[in-house]
């Protein structure tokens, strides 16, 4: 890939409290090779000829955004499950209806469109929490990893990177009730057979990596938690887990095991620097200490958590305890990491009735470098030499951002303000349009195929 230069009107550089004006960014073979702030309109040690062939990026340029928690097929539920009464458990019935209809071909089409929508929103890497493994009745496909392969292909078509968090899902409840109905396609029988299946799948494209996930303490019996965690550790892979998303999960765990889900995970070696707990909406003070002391990350998904009436997690206390925070769009009720980042701060304001819990830099970090780290891409999320050439440019002249200082973008911009997206040095979105996918049309067609 030839040398490419971009001239960013503003760029948010590592260790800077706010964006820097007029920055020349150079990349070759998908890696950033130079980041040069300009002085007085001209670059030191670089003349006019260098600037002449640079692609100009008006607005604020950020490193790529990382969506650390996704269920791609949930995109088909948008606008269909938001009305009426109920809670997470009633919403889940509608989700299972869609899950039962998918096969490798329809999943490829739906995920391709969903991931392309993420690209339009500035997301350059996604963590797919994947548990739709087998046929609707639980029978494996001829290729037991056909559904995972469809997701890898979908991300390639959409132009973004993927960490396929292959999820162990064995039981329906904390006390070990068997999988029934649509849940049957999630299961591998036991954790050893799960590990055997996942070990046989190795994406051969540089845009995709495999990770592991424990669906929840409801879905993996306590005696098998260490098997999943040990497999992830031996293979150097990130490990994710849904944790304390609803109070009912905590109550059931206490009733059976005499402890919280966090304590159960800690006792079986699940927590640690390479583990990310998703949601953690209802932790105790002792849970927060366990998560923080082990440096277990927390992935917050505020738009989903409020859509499902799950509650507001103690984000500030999590960060102060030592847990790195990342962000996810989860059910894709909204695909907008600016909104997720804002919500971390704004939900804290609602919970505490005080303002000013997170600085713009903290929110920026959660949406970029921390999210990439949680997905196993330590070389992404910064505009720095040697890192992946992921650039996301936000318009500062839209109806939402006009007159807003660049540092305030996380409190003003939306996904609709993204103008350009570069992933590994390749242009994926230009002037607000995906280069290869007609996103609205493909979303409409893919969703109709699994809901009509």
Compute the distance between CA of residue 93 and CA of residue 141 in angstroms, rounded to an integer: 24
HEC letters along 285-299? HHHHHHHHHCCCEEE
Backbone angles phi, psi at 64, to 5 degrees: -60, 145
Q: Residue 318: left if φ>0, alpha if ψ -120 to 50, beta else—which one?
A: alpha
Whether the CB-CB separation of 19 and 6 falls below 8 Å is answered with no
* Residue 353: per-residue pLDDT: 95
Nearest to 339 by CA among 327, 348, 349, 331: 327
* Residue 45: per-residue pLDDT: 45
Compute the distance between CA of residue 5 and CA of residue 413 in angstroms, rounded to an integer: 25
Cα→Cα distances 336→104, 118, 311, 328, 409, Å: 27, 8, 20, 9, 13
* Residue 5: per-residue pLDDT: 96
* Residue 83: per-residue pLDDT: 65
Nearest to 429 by CA among 57, 71, 69: 57
Whether the CB-CB separation of 87 and 308 falls below 8 Å is answered with yes
Q: How far is CA 79 from the centre of its chain?
A: 21
Nearest to 279 by CA among 258, 262, 254, 256: 262
Nearest to 448 by CA among 51, 38, 15, 80: 80
Compute the distance between CA of residue 319 and CA of residue 282 in angstroms, rounded to an integer: 15
Compute the distance between CA of residue 324 and CA of residue 276 in angstroms, rounded to an integer: 9
Residues with Cβ within 8 Å of 173's Cβ and at least 6 positions away in sequence, in order, are 218, 252
Q: Between helices 104-120 and 146-158, what is the axis angle to 10°?
A: 30
Residues in the chain: 452
Q: What is the pTM of this model?
A: 0.96
* Residue 409: per-residue pLDDT: 87
Instruction: Give, for all 452 residues of the chain, the pLDDT tens digit.
Output: 778 999 999 999 999 999 999 999 999 999 999 999 996 544 444 455 667 789 999 999 999 999 999 999 999 999 877 666 666 666 777 788 899 999 999 999 999 999 999 999 999 999 999 999 999 999 999 999 999 999 999 999 999 999 999 999 999 999 999 999 999 999 999 999 999 999 999 998 899 999 999 999 999 999 999 999 999 999 999 999 999 999 999 999 999 999 999 999 999 999 999 999 999 999 999 999 999 999 999 999 999 999 888 999 999 999 999 999 999 999 999 999 999 999 999 999 999 999 999 999 999 999 999 999 999 999 999 999 999 999 999 999 999 999 999 999 889 999 999 999 999 999 999 999 999 999 999 999 999 999 98
Domains and CATH numbers, the chain: 4-63+382-434 (2.30.40.10), 65-375 (3.20.20.140)
* Residue 93: per-residue pLDDT: 78
* Residue 49: per-residue pLDDT: 61
Q: Residue 421: left if φ>0, alpha if ψ -120 to 50, beta else—which one?
A: beta
Q: Name the residues annotated as catalytic.
A: 279, 330
Whether the CB-CB separation of 328 and 299 falls below 8 Å is answered with yes
């Amino acid at each position: 890939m030839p040398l490419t230069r971009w001239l960013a009107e503003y760029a948010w550089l590592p260790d800077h409290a706010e964006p820097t004006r007029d920055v020349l960014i150079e990349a070759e073979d998908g890696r950033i090779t130079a980041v040069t702030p300009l002085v007085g309109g001209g670059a030191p040690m670089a003349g006019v000829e260098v600037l002449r062939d640079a692609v100009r990026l008006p607005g604020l340029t950020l490193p790529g955004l990382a969506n650390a928690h996704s269920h791609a097929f949930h995109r088909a539920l948008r606008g269909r499950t938001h009305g009426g009464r109920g809670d997470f458990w009633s919403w889940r019935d509608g989700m299972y209806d869609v899950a039962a209809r998918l096969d490798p071909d329809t999943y490829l089409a739906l995920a391709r469109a969903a991931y392309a929508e993420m690209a339009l929103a500035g997301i350059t890497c996604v963590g797919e929490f994947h548990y739709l493994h087998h046929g609707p009745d639980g029978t494996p496909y001829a290729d037991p990893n056909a559904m995972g392969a469809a997701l890898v292909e979908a991300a390639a078509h959409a132009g973004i990177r993927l960490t396929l968090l292959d999820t162990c899902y064995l039981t329906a409840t904390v006390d070990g009730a068997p999988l029934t109905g649509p849940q049957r396609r999630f299961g591998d029988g036991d954790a050893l057979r799960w590990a055997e299946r996942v070990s046989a799948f190795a994406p051969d494209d540089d845009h995709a990596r495999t990770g592991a996930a424990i669906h929840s303490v409801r879905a993996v019996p306590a005696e098998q938690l260490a098997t999943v965690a040990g497999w992830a550790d031996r293979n150097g892979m990130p490990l994710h887990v849904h944790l304390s998303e609803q109070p009912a999960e905590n109550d059931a765990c206490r009733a059976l095991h005499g402890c919280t889900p966090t304590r159960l995970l800690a006792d079986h070696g699940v927590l640690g620097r390479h583990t990310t707990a998703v949601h953690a909406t209802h932790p105790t003070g002792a849970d927060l200490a366990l998560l923080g002391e082990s440096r277990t990350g927390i992935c917050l998904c505020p738009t989903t958590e409020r859509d499902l009436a799950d509650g507001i997690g103690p984000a500030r206390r999590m960060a102060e305890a030592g847990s790195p925070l990342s962000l996810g769009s989860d059910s894709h009720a909204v695909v907008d990491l600016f909104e997720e980042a804002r919500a971390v701060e704004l939900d804290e304001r609602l919970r505490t009735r005080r303002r000013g819990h997170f600085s713009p830099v903290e929110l920026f970090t959660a949406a970029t470098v921390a999210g990439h780290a949680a997905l196993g891409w330590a070389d992404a999320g910064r505009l720095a030499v040697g890192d992946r050439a992921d650039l996301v440019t936000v318009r500062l002249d839209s109806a939402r951002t006009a007159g807003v200082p660049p540092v305030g973008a996380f409190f003003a911009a939306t996904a609709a303000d993204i103008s350009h997206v570069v992933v590994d040095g390749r242009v994926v979105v230009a002037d607000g349009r995906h280069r290869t996918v007609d996103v609205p049309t493909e979303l409409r067609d893919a969703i109709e195929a699994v809901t009509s």
